[in-house]
């Protein structure tokens, strides 16, 4: 048990998890609860109980689709979606192993490209993501038509104000 | 009417039918778009899923550019709209954070603009009557459901311009084009677009539900406003049956307005909407 965990999550998410009285409304409306080990309300309960390793070691925080349905419906106005964002940030910052490694790998890669060009470059994103996750052949049936239809630019566009973008990354500790 | 325009990364690549159709349709309605100079990525899901400060500061750089001209900022992509709107909300409601973001981005927030979504601009600023009067070729006979997805309605205090649980403005626009808009209860259910690449099995399940519900409602197509939903809905339809077309509402506006550019948009889809559009009596799609 980690007695500081709920305070850490509350601070980063700007929520008050103790307000949750487990009505399960978040889980009832969650489109991906069936794919989760715990589901949103039990994740909140585990945070209340200081179960840091169980929460951050679970795939639930990466299965969350950020649809914000839970946040919209919570009777106690807890943004469970913001809690999930905070949990993902803590998991990445503290290097937790996860059964869903593709999502954090994708986010790191995505932000790496934005930090380099200032905009997304889908061709780089897809190529490196495939190499990193060893899913070389995944989605070729839609990827190739998209390239042929001119929907995936070959060359990246670099914004002129890259010094500003780099400054933002630096100042926000990214 | 003149607006700042933030195309965003998706709408200029995988979702380019959205950018192309928004530009064409708003020009036809007399709205002048001024592309935001040297705009940068809003950070999308990856910033807000992993670093809350970056998730506000990245879109804030674009707000800083937008406020120079003081024109409202139009973001056609629902995801960009959501991130820009979230940053804007933080700047207007949280004085401490505002100070931090101003230091990170090196600007002074004045808020002399609003972040807008095309649905909102079409219904509230241009008006349905103006849309109706611009229709040359009513889309009678085309049956579809209007699909909002998540990011245009949630969290409502930050992004919503329509009812978050039962939005109607998209359907109103489609109705003004003469379409048969089918009623369904899933306009704001998630398509799993945020997990499209990282956990595609979830997107397959959610897209399968949505297309099934759309068919049950009597629709032959899904009309959306979000490039992430659009891509997920086209990519993640599985099974042996024919795949359902998924088009942007602005593409249908262009068709009803008789714009000649429309044929170039249909060609870019992974699921060709032209067989569905063949249901239009006059043809010419």
Q: What is the ipTM of this complex?
A: 0.95
**B94 in the Ramachandran plot: left (φ > 0), alpha (ψ -120 to 50) or beta?**
beta
Does A85 sit within 8 Å of B48, measured CB to CB?
yes
Beta strand residue intervals within chain B, DSSP E: 2-5, 32-35, 73-74, 115-116, 143-147, 180-181, 221-224, 246-248
B35 burial class (0-12, 13-18, 19+ CB within 10 angstroms)?
exposed
**How far apart are alpha carbons B255 and B141 in whole angstroms?**
14
**How far apart are alpha carbons A55 and B54 in whole angstroms?**
24
Does A142 sit within 8 Å of B270, measured CB to CB?
yes
Check: CB of residue A77 under 8 Å from CB of residue A11.
no
pLDDT confidence tier of residue B281, bands split at 50, 70 and 90: low
User: Would an 8 Å CB–CB cutoff place B53 in contact with chain A?
Assistant: yes
- pLDDT tens sequence across B226-275: 999 999 999 999 977 789 999 999 999 999 999 999 999 999 999 999 99
Tokens for A5? 């965990």
Q: Which domains does chain B have, with CATH numbers?
A: 2-116 (1.20.1050.140), 135-273 (3.40.50.11810)
- pLDDT tens sequence across B147-199: 999 999 999 999 999 999 999 999 999 999 999 999 999 999 999 999 999 99
Residue numbers in A near B190 (CB within 8 A): 31-32, 65, 67, 69
What Å distances lie between residue B98 and B41, B89, B101, B106, CA to CA?
Answer: 20, 10, 5, 11
Check: CB of residue A65 under 8 Å from CB of residue B160.
no
pLDDT at B284: 45
Q: Cα distance from A130 to chain B (closest Cα, Å)?
A: 10
- pLDDT tens sequence across B62-101: 999 999 999 999 999 999 999 999 999 999 999 999 999 9
Q: Reduced to 3 states, what is the DSSP secondary structure of residue A44?
A: helix
A6 burial class (0-12, 13-18, 19+ CB within 10 angstroms)?
buried
User: Would an 8 Å CB–CB cutoff place B39 in contact with chain A?
Assistant: yes
Tokens for B87? 């940053």
**How far apart are alpha carbons B185 and B57 in whole angstroms?**
36
Q: How many CB pairs under 8 A join A and B?
A: 168
**A171: nearest CA in chain B?**
B104
- pLDDT tens sequence across A7-51: 999 999 999 999 999 999 999 999 999 999 999 999 999 999 999
pLDDT at residue B282 above 80? no
**How far apart are alpha carbons B85 and A68 in whole angstroms?**
15
Percent of chain B with pLDDT strictly greater than 90? 95
What Å distances lie between residue B171 and B9, B81, B119, B145, CA to CA?
Answer: 27, 20, 10, 8
- pLDDT tens sequence across A88-138: 999 999 999 999 999 999 999 999 999 999 999 999 999 999 999 988 888
**How far apart are alpha carbons A114 and A85 in whole angstroms?**
19
Check: CB of residue B271 under 8 Å from CB of residue B234.
yes
Does A111 sit within 8 Å of B47, measured CB to CB?
yes
- pLDDT tens sequence across B94-131: 999 999 999 999 999 999 999 999 999 999 999 999 99
* B145 DSSP assignment: E
The contacts of residue A73 (CB under 8 Å, 6+ apart) are A25, A26, A29
Residues in chain B: 285
**A159: nearest CA in chain B?**
B38
């Amino acid at each position: 048990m980690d007695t500081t965990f709920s305070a850490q999550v509350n601070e980063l998410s700007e929520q008050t998890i103790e307000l949750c009285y487990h009505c399960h409304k978040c889980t009832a409306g969650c489109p991906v609860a069936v794919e989760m080990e715990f589901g949103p309300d039990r994740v909140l309960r585990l945070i209340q109980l200081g179960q840091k390793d169980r929460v951050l070691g679970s795939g639930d925080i990466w299965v969350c689709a950020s649809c914000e349905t839970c946040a919209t419906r919570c009777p106690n106005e807890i943004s469970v979606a913001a809690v999930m964002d905070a949990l993902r940030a803590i998991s990445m910052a503290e290097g937790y192993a996860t059964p869903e490694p593709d999502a954090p790998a994708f986010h790191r890669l995505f932000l790496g490209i934005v930090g380099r060009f200032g905009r997304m470059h889908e061709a780089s994103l897809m190529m490196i993501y495939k190499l990193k996750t060893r899913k070389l052949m995944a989605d070729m049936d839609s990827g190739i038509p998209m390239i042929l239809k001119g929907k995936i630019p070959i060359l990246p566009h670099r914004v002129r104000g890259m010094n500003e973008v780099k400054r933002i990354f630096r100042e926000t500790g990214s | 009417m003149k607006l700042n325009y933030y195309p965003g990364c998706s709408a200029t690549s995988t979702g380019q039918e959205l950018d192309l159709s928004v530009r064409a349709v708003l020009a036809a309605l007399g709205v002048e778009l001024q592309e935001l100079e040297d705009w940068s990525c809003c950070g999308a899901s990856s910033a807000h899923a992993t670093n809350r400060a970056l998730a506000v500061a990245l879109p804030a750089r674009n707000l800083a550019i937008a406020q120079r001209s003081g024109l409202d900022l139009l973001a056609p992509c629902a995801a960009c709209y959501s991130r820009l709107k979230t940053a804007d909300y933080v700047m207007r409601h949280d004085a401490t954070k505002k100070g931090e973001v101003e230091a990170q981005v090196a600007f002074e927030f004045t808020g002399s603009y609003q972040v807008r979504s095309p649905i909102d601009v079409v219904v509230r600023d241009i008006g349905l009557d103006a849309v109706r009067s611009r229709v040359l070729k009513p889309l009678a006979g085309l049956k579809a459901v209007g699909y909002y997805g998540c990011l245009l309605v949630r969290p409502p205090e930050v992004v919503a311009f329509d009812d978050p649980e039962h939005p109607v403005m998209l359907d109103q626009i489609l109705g003004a084009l003469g379409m048969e808009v089918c009623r369904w209860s899933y306009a704001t259910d998630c398509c799993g677009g945020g997990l499209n690449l990282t956990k595609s099995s979830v997107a397959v399940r959610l897209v399968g539900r949505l297309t099934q519900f759309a068919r049950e409602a009597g629709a032959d197509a899904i009309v959306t406003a979000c490039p992430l939903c659009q891509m997920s809905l086209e990519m993640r339809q599985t099974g042996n049956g024919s795949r359902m077309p998924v088009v942007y509402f602005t593409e249908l506006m262009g068709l009803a307005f008789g714009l000649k550019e429309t044929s170039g948009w249909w060609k870019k889809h992974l699921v060709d909407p032209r067989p569905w559009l063949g249901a239009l009596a006059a043809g010419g799609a």
